[in-house]
Amino acid sequence: MKVKFIISIVSFLFLFTSCSSVKVDYEKHIDFSRYKTFAYIKDGIGSEKLPVKYKKIIVYEIDRFIKEENLQPDVNHPDLLVLIEPDFHKRYDVYAPGIYHSRKSYEGSIIIKFIDAKTNRPIWTGKFYLNFSNSGQLRRYIRKKLSKLADKYPPYY
């Protein structure tokens, strides 16, 4: 029992520290000011592990983030192609020793890739971690993470 408790604490600390930041990688030689339009590579996102209502929230919030970066949708001649790669799994939390109470939540990561439409090469990638149990939490947490990503796009030298 103590081993499970210790593992739970270590897992929580790892998750807490890893969830607190966003990670960005980009091509250093690219002039990002030339990109004005975008289109999604796939319509929506393909994670089968997430209910549709959560997928819709994720796509809506990422779409809002992209548009706030002054990129406009253009499905015919986009400068950038956008790929959303979620990787989530269900998690069941059990509370209070001796009393069985569980809560289902989801945890995982989202990777957003901006790909140059002419060269088909990724030029910017943002990644962040989330842990949520309902739509309101997902919306709040993803907005917070996307706000941090916005500080890193376009990259400034």
Phi, psi (deg, nearest 5) at residue 81: -105, 135
Map out the domains of the chain with their CATH numbers. 2-150 (3.30.160.670)
Q: Give the gyration radius of the chain's Cα atoms.
A: 18
The Cα–Cα gap between 126 and 80 comes to 14
**Placement of tokens 């406009």 in the chain:** 72
Q: How many CB atoms lie within 10 A of CB 108?
A: 17
Longest Cα pair distance anywhere in the chain, in angstroms? 60
- Using 50 as the pLDDT threshold, list the residues of the chain that sit under it: 3-8, 10, 13-19, 157
pLDDT of residue 1: 53
pLDDT of residue 42: 76
Reported as type and span, the H/E element at residue 88 is: strand 80-95
pLDDT of residue 7: 45
pLDDT of residue 154: 79
